[in-house]
A = this chain, B = another copy of it.
Amino acid sequence: MEQLFLYLVPFLGIVGLVVMAIKSAWVTRQPTGEKNMVELAGYIADGAMSFLKAEWKVMIYFVIIAAIILGWSGTLLDNSSPIIAVSFIIGAVLSAFAGYLGMKIATKSNVRTTEAAKTSLAKALNVSFTGGTVMGLGVAGLAVLGMGGLFIVFYNMFVLSAGGGVNGHEMETALEVLAGFSLGAESIALFARVGGGIYTKAADVGADLVGKVEAGIPEDDVRNPATIADNVGDNVGDVAGMGADLFGSYVATILASMVLGREIVSDDNFGGIAPILLPLVIAGLGLVFSIIGTFFVKINSETGNVQAALNRGNWISILLTVAASFFVIQYMLPEGDLVMSRLNSIPFTKMGVFGAVFIGLIVGALMSIITEHYTAMGKGPVNSIIRQSSTGHATNIIGGLAVGMQSTVLPILVLAGGIFTSYMAAGLYGVAIAAAGMMATTAMQLAIDAFGPIADNAGGIAEMSGLPKEVRERTDILDAVGNTTAATGKGFAIASAALTALALFAAYVGISGISTIDIYKADVLSGLFVGAMIPFIFSSLAIAAVGRAAMDMVNEVRRQFKEMPGIMEFKTKPDYEKCVEISTKASIREMVAPGAIALVSPIIVGFLFGHEVLGGMLAGVTVSGVLMGIFQNNAGGAWDNAKKSFEKGVEINGEMYYKGSEPHKASVTGDTVGDPFKDTSGPSMNILIKLTSIVSIVIAPFIPLDSPLGISDSVGTDVIPKVVQVQQELPEVIETLEVN
């Protein structure tokens, strides 16, 4: 029966990919509109591909070098294998391929959505959301197929062929090798998220500063040389970046739950392989129910509620997944108490495991709702920023920073509550399973997320091609919903990254073989401090990088306006490629430093100070990264919508203010500060915290217990085993003495 579930998982992955192919073909068959629309869309598609190619050129070196090191290190220990290099490469390639698929479909769907918007809102939603669905199914399908397929291979290779039981040492090796897949996926996500974030904001800020402010031409004007780069940026950052981020979370969550599942299995072989297999099965089910959910995202008239349609689809997938999880857990897991092999875990039953799935879904939903409250137009937080815009730039900034900081409270309480209750429900396995439950409907989440930038792009194409007003109005409705889903999607992404990181953290302790991460020890506490500092330097680097890249863009646009005077009279076509090239080059150059910090710091700390200090550092990165991520995402989102509110007009102290007023100008300052916050450094925190953990998991078996400056490990591992030994020996001693 286990065999059935084992092979069911990759099969479900294939189902997802087949549906994706069908939907993709449908999108491709949709009409593309006039020649100039196709031409503009072509520029965007070419720009996006040229970014991907430039990114791949850098990544290929990184992947080769990392694979060689991993392969070599795999030969060093008994419970490691050089196969991890292959696993790593497959993870990297699949992640890159998922990004490619998403980018390809997004740059196809945008122009077709514009064309559909000529007919009706319903049709435009259908095209853009189907584009998003292709992206979601591609990412989730590849992840499920990849993890499920590789697990079968490694299970056969390491466990069955060696005649090992599922509770043996061999399963540890299989999972350690599988961690390579996750490392590969997350490494690519790093470059996609950070590079994409820098790209999109450099282009956006550059286009705005010279085009809108200096030259006084509207947004998305075809005369602006940076406008194509700006539209490419939406795809690069919001589609490929978000896709790679969630691909990484999805894979890492499944991995962490499997590692912790092994802890249950290894103890007493209780439940067979089921606790290891369960997270894979839940992911597969979530994928299938996401497909079903997408069929409910439809509106029937011009006045149909787009947001409600998206919510309907989302909730249907979630509820079906919950229901199915209940039966699967009942069927797969054994009766009676399960327990993990760690000192500090608690016994739990299969109802507890189901409770954890449920908690994960609630945490995800709450995080989205809270994020919406802090960033949506017309609500308290955004209104407070609007009021503070009336006294100038400085008070607008202070207001936004205060909102951002304040917005960390509820999400942290929800997260802490989620960790606590899922731990009560099913121990550390419960925390991981809660993350898995939350991530199960990733396909649906991504479909909703990716729909936003597609609609945004469609509006840009409508504007640039000079289409009739009602077309732009329809795409604007979609775009407005897209802005909300972008914010809530970020809430979901950071929550998933946090739970994933915690699951990975627990898995790390499992793999490293230590029994505590005791911050009462001074060196572990130092690790905590250093870890918590890393999100600050990472954010600082990312923000500064956007500033530098935007300056390059500003200079180029100024040069083109000066040297090609025909641009302004629509006589000369601006050199779009040059701007695309600048954004591409800058993002590739600037992503190296923050990326290196994320990859290298756990290695240095781990090998110098040992397992437990590294554990402290991981906790520091996670806690501080989650806080900085929420703070920056929400401050940026609130600033953005405070600015947007002025476009409709806002009332402050009885007076109305519109676009162009002094308070509006102050709100533009806030929005510009918020841009790198919400689209570069904030979302990068997800990758930072996950990557630090996954690197630690991969290096854990290689860190010796007597590391050069390690105090804690030797003590930590000395005390407990000695005590356990004493306890075990006591009866023997007594027996021996009694015999004598």
Contact = CB atoms under 8 A, between A and B. Distances in A.
Interface in A274-320: none
Given A391-B551, A394-B673, A412 B533 contact: yes
Given A412-B530, A419-B522, A402 B544 contact: yes
Interface stretch (A93-101, A234-242, A711-719): A711-719
Interface in A381-419: 388, 391-395, 397-399, 401-403, 405-406, 408-409, 412-413, 415-417, 419
Contacts of A403: 540
Given A388-B547, A391-B551, A532 B627 contact: yes
A346 B528 CA distance: 20
A526 interface: yes
B715 A520 contact: no
A726 interface: yes
A537 B737 contact: no
Interface stretch (A112-120, A192-200, A566-574, A612-620): A612-620
Interface stretch (A78-86, A157-165, A330-338, A727-735): A727-735
Nearest to A547: B398
A533 B409 contact: yes
A518 B344 contact: yes
Interface stretch (A58-66, A138-146, A423-431): A423-431
A232 interface: no
Contact of A520 (B408, B506, B711): B506
A53 interface: no
A344 B515 CA distance: 14
Contacts of A672: 392, 394-395, 398
Interface string A342-385: 11101000000000000000000000000000000000000000
Interface residues of A, number: 96
A610 to B, nearest CB: 12
A679 interface: no
Contacts of A709: 420
A576 interface: no
Given A520-B615, A624-B624, A397 B669 contact: yes
A326 B672 CA distance: 56
A540 B384 CA distance: 13
A441 interface: no
B506 A536 contact: no
Contacts of A392: 669, 672
B398 A676 contact: yes
Contact of A398 (B393, B394, B673): B673
Contacts of A517: 518-520
Interface in A531-583: 532-533, 536-537, 539-541, 543-544, 546-547, 551, 554
A667 to B, nearest CB: 11
Interface in A197-215: 209
Given A517-B518, A518-B518, A529 B416 contact: yes
A709 B543 CA distance: 41
B626 A627 contact: no
A502 interface: yes
Most buried by B among A342, A424, A505, A528: A528
A519 B519 contact: yes
A214 to B, nearest CB: 11
B530 A398 contact: no
Contacts of A623: 528-529, 532, 620, 623-624
Nearest to A431: B522
A419 B519 CA distance: 12
A631 interface: yes
Contacts of A551: 391
Contacts of A631: 536
A732 to B, nearest CB: 12
B343 A412 contact: no
A419 B525 contact: yes
Contacts of A537: 405-406, 408-409
A427 B712 CA distance: 12
A34 interface: no
A523 interface: yes
A670 B416 CA distance: 35
A640 to B, nearest CB: 13
A532 B412 CA distance: 9
B726 A730 contact: yes
Contacts of A523: 419-420, 423
Given A537-B406, A543-B402, A734-B733, A415 B518 contact: no
Contacts of A393: 393, 669
A738 B734 CA distance: 10
Contacts of A525: 419, 502, 505, 619
B626 A529 contact: yes
Nearest to A681: B405
B669 A405 contact: no
Contact of A543 (B342, B398, B515): B398
Nearest to A403: B540
Given A398-B672, A399-B547, 9 more contacts: A343-B715, A344-B521, A398-B546, A402-B543, A405-B540, A416-B530, A506-B520, A516-B520, A730-B730
Shortest 4 CB-CB contacts between residues of A and residues of B:
A423-B522, A394-B672, A405-B540, A723-B723
7 contacts: A209-B391, A392-B672, A405-B537, A408-B536, A412-B530, A423-B522, A726-B727
